[in-house]
Amino acid sequence: MRTHRLLAAAGAIALVGSVVSGAIAADYPSKPITMIVPWKPGGTTETMGQVLSKALTKNLGVKVLVKTRPGGGGAVGSTVLANSKPDGYTIEFVGISTLTWIPMTQKAVKYKTSDFTFVAGVSQYQMSLVGTPGKPYSTFKELIAHSKANPGINVADMGGMSKAFVNFIAKQEKVDWTAIPTRGGGEMVPFLLGGKVDFAFSGGVHQKYGEKMIVLASFLSNRLPLAPNAPSTQEMYGVAMPGDNGIVAPKGLPADIRAKLEAAVKVSIDDPDFTKILERIKFPKRFLSSKEFDQVVADTLVSLNKVAKATGYIK
């Protein structure tokens, strides 16, 4: 008899909890939302975030305020998000490499990929291997053949994940490349166009330079829309970089709040101003539902684990 009373009481408590949770979700959002962007103002991600926040404000009916929290390659802002209350009032606009590669390879980072709720994908960075016209190679296949005949040609990388992927390719193809570290696209571009390096990793900046740069391979799971003839690393080696960016919340976000945010993002990426900014930077829209976003993250972790182990970033 006592057991029945305890079970009944537990059931009543659970029912009350679900009713309260449902009521809170029904009122959401009722106050301004903070959207963390873990990068400095003025960059591509922050620029997209500012325009996206205005579209979300229209579609959610409350202010969505951008707060930049730069540092640690995105880790500082993402740590703030991971430690925030999962009520939908603190979200982040971020590339998923920050939430996958960084905690996988940097022990000092205190969050894990599982500390986040992936709400909706927005767009896709255009990571690729690029060269310039006039070289003895204009395709990835020709680059590999040239590399085997000319050991030690220079490749620019940006450290971390890009270096790991470049090294992974070199290991798979048994070629010897001399790595030249660069501090972002701002340094890579003059190195490549000035002939200081033979080819380079690009996070997408190459698309601003038209025919001055040639895409040799996509580092994504898919080919780049503006370079459909260049193969992807997924096709060739079964691995891909995490190129998607989107809206993320802390772990434990209620399902109905997640659904409301997802729906708002889906509408917001078609906002004329957001469409214009993507056209200007030449990044494609890539809406991912929560379910699709979860699957992309799961697939990404498999790829990154394979590359990180093969290149000594993890054991």
State the virtual CA torsion across 282, 283, 284, 285 in degrees, nearest 10: -120
Cis peptide bond prior to 272, omega within 30° of 0 = no
- Cα(48)–Cα(262) distance, integer angstroms: 17
- pTM value > 0.75: yes
267-to-92, 122, 241 alpha-carbon distances in Å: 18, 11, 27
173-196: per-residue pLDDT in tens? 999 999 999 988 889 999 999 999
Q: How confident is the model at residue 306 (pLDDT cuts 50, 70, 90)?
A: very high
CATH 3.40.190.10-classified regions of the chain = 128-237
24-81: per-residue pLDDT in tens? 567 999 999 999 999 988 888 999 999 999 999 999 999 999 999 999 889 999 999 9
141-167: per-residue pLDDT in tens? 999 999 999 999 999 998 899 999 999
DSSP 8-state assignment for residue 177: E
Report the CATH architecture of 128-237: 3-Layer(aba) Sandwich (3.40)
Say what percent of the chain tops pLDDT 90.
86
Q: What is the pLDDT of residue 168?
A: 97
Strands 214-218 and 285-288: unpaired
Count CA atoms closer than 13 A to 121's CA, side-chain side: 20
Q: What is the pLDDT of residue 13?
A: 54
* pLDDT surpasses 80 at 6: no
CATH 3.40.190.150-classified regions of the chain = 31-124+243-310
Sheet holding 128-131, edge to edge: 177-181, 153-157, 199-202, 128-131, 214-218
Closest by Cα among 231, 227, 224 to 214: 227
Give the mean pLDDT of 129-136.
96
What's the chain's average pLDDT?
92
| Whether domain 31-124+243-310 has CATH 3.40.50.170 | no
- Cα(203)–Cα(194) distance, integer angstroms: 19
